[in-house]
Amino acid sequence: MDQFNYQNQILFAEQQPLNKVAQEFGTPCYVYSRAAIERQYHAFADAAAKHPASLVCYAVKANSNLAILNLLAKQGSGFDIVSAGELRRVIAAGGDPAKVVFSGVAKTADEMRFALDLGIKCFNVESSAELEQLQQVASAANKVAPVSIRVNPDIDAKTHPYISTGLKANKFGIDILQAEQIYQTAASYSHIDVVGVDCHIGSQLTEVQPFLDALEKLLKLIEQLSANGIVLQHIDIGGGLGVRYDDETPPSPADYISQVVKRLTDYPHLELVMEPGRAIMANAGVLLTKVEYLKPGSEKNFAIVDAAMNDLIRPALYSAWQNIVPVVLNDSLPSTVYDVVGPVCETGDFLGKDRPLAISQGDLLAVCSAGAYGFTMSSNYNSRPRAAEVLIDGSTMHLIRAREQWQDLWRGEQVLIS
């Protein structure tokens, strides 16, 4: 097992900084480890480098902090984006547009123009209507759009239904049975250059087999296309590799990618593209929060903390389980079973249920595995300012996003309407 996938590692390795972070920057606060991010990125990149050509396109949606994008860009990473906003972030962080793939089912004409102007690597097209619009936009801009068709291989990713994307019932991609027809159409368009194929079957997958099944279907399609004169330059296997939140045992990135590389031995001309998000970021970050009050009850005891569902929505949205541990272990306190809840006025505002914890008022807790889909899914619900983000780099703490100020919550609003 890749030790770094163990959810508490950042905490135990860097416990001292967590106290210091809270003192200096307050709570709630996201805290990330530079070493962990770089290590996870290289786990993918190094395994993929055994194939003649490869590119890791980090999925920006997992964590789009500019400092983190910059770290990854400096390691050579490309980026998987789903909006012009994410593309702007990649550029602002020093990312190379030529290493950007653009996913998403609803790219607007404006977004297409913007990405074409910047010269991105590829549009991952998800419908024939989108393909048609891209042809029109590219033609009007006198540019040629590089295109991959995102196929939906109808594979059960065996993950939470909200984060499964590769079934016919999901809105994503083009039915693999219709794919060849769409490739022929794409090849006939004047301002489209067909360069690849991609798929993404879901997130938090803990087995390799569904990935390998999808790969098999893609390779079959590639063979069929090539027999009909359409030769692709890259295969993009998407993201989706799971992490250990609790007792899951996902394969390591090296394990998973090595199996893919092995299967691609007979396809040395095909560049291997990957879009991992969670597997790079989740266990590289924690959400630091303070116990405001302990509230004992006859049925439930509540540990009321200063982080809430607006800061980390995964428990409320997917009933996701993330470990919650005290930053300083106190053996002299009795352990009590708590629901760890936040200040938001919703019954669904919890970070964890039925957690045995030895804690007192004022203690710091770390919600583990919070580096992916934590801050990026946060909101201002209940007019709560968004948390700060801090990057630990050896003994240095970098404030990479200051806690939102109250005035930010109404910036840009018009108060008086005549």
Ligand X SMILES: Cc1ncc(COP(=O)(O)O)c(C=O)c1O
Report yes or no: 54 and 267 within 8 Å, Cβ to Cβ. no
Helix, strand, or coil (residue 160): coil
- 14 assigned binding-site residue: no
Pick one of ligand LYS, ligand X, none as the site partner of residue 217 (Cβ within 5 to 8 A by kind). none
Residue that has been written with the tokens 């005290």 in this structure: 326
- C-alpha angle 173/43/324, rounded to 5°? 85
- 275 assigned binding-site residue: yes
By CB under 6 A, is residue 203 in contact with ligand LYS?
Answer: yes
Q: Who contacts 8 (Cβ-Cβ below 8 Å, separation ≥6)?
A: 323, 325, 368
Which residue in 122, 199, 345, 368 is the catalytic one? 345
DSSP string, 196-243: EEE---BSSB--SHHHHHHHHHHHHHHHHHHHTT---SEEE----B--
Helix, strand, or coil (residue 311): coil
User: What DSSP designation does 177 have?
Assistant: H
| Whether 345 is catalytic | yes
- 150 assigned binding-site residue: no
Pick one of ligand LYS, ligand X, none as the site partner of residue 72 (Cβ within 5 to 8 A by kind). none
Q: Which helix (H) or strand (E) holds 41?
A: helix 34-48
Query: Which is closer to ligand LYS, CB of 99 or CB of 314?
Result: 314
Number of H helices, E strands in the chain: 12, 18
Q: Using CB under 6 A, pick the residue from 253, 277, 285, 342 that binds ligand X.
A: 277
Pick one of ligand X, ligand LYS, none as the site partner of residue 289 (Cβ within 5 to 8 A by kind). none
By CB under 6 A, is residue 239 in contact with ligand X?
Answer: yes
Minimum distance from residue 239 beta carbon to ligand X (Å) = 3
Pick one of ligand LYS, ligand X, none as the site partner of residue 314 (Cβ within 5 to 8 A by kind). ligand LYS
Among the listed ranges 86-94, 273-281, 316-324, 402-410, the one in contact with ligand X (CB under 6 A) is: 273-281
Query: Which is closer to ligand LYS, CB of 74 or CB of 171?
Result: 171
By CB under 6 A, is residue 200 in contact with ligand X?
Answer: yes
Minimum distance from residue 272 beta carbon to ligand LYS (Å) = 21
HSE, CB side, 13 Å, CA atoms: give it for residue 208: 13
The catalytic residue positions are 345
Binding residues for substrate, by number, are: 278, 314, 318, 346, 373
Interface residues with ligand X (CB under 6 A)?
A: 59, 62, 80, 103, 165, 200, 203, 238-241, 275-279
